[in-house]
Structure 1
Amino acid sequence: METNLFENRDAILHPGRPIADAPPKTAPYAERAEWSERYVRWFLGQVETNGVLPKDVLPTHLYQVEFQYCVLDPQLYEQQTQQELAAEIAETFH
C-alpha cells in the first residue's frame, strides 16, 4: 500500500486548522456554523490583535464579527483569510 505524503499537508502546515473543506454558502446553516466556529477560532489564533480594547467592546467582539462574516459564505471567507495569511507570511520574510 502506497502512502500519500501530501494527503494531510494542511494539517502539517497549519496545525489545528479544520481539515474538512469549507461548506458552500448554500449548505444548511448548522453545517456552515459548525465549520465557521472551528475555522474562525483557528484563524484568529494565527493573526495578531493589536492594542487594548476600548471599555465598551467585549473581548469576543472580533470573533463575533468574523464568525458572522464567515457563516455567510465559508468558502469565500476561507479563500480571503488564506490570502491574508499568505500576504502576512510573505511580508515577514521580505
Structure 2
Amino acid sequence: MPTENIIRKSRMDYIDIYIAFGIILMVMGHIGFGGKFDQFIHAFHMPMFFFISGFFYKEKHIDVKKCAFDKAKKLLTPYFVFGGVLLPLVSE
C-alpha cells in the first residue's frame, strides 16, 4: 500500500514522542503527586502543547465573516435544538 507509506513518511516520529511525553506528564499532573514534582510538571506541560500547536501552524487566508458564520451555525444549532427539546420537559 504505497499511500500508507507516504502518509507514514510525512509524520515526524520525534514530534509524536514529544506529544506522548507531554500526555504522560499531563496525566501525572492530574493524578496529583504533590510537592515539587507537581509544580515542576505544571510549569511546562501546557506550554509544551502550545509550542507543538505553533510548530504545526500554517497561516491560511480566510474570510472572517464566513468563518464566524460557520462557527456560529455549528455551535448555536445544537444549542437551540436541545434547548427547544429540553425546555418543555423542565418547565413547570
Question: Same-fold call, TM > 0.5?
Answer: no
Largest Rg, 1 or 2: 2
Structure number with the higher helix fraction is: 2
Normalising by structure 2, what TM-score? Answer: 0.26
Query: Which structure exhibits the higher relative contact order, with contacts defined as CA atoms closer than 8 Å and separated by 6 or more residues?
Result: 1
Normalising by structure 1, what TM-score? Answer: 0.25
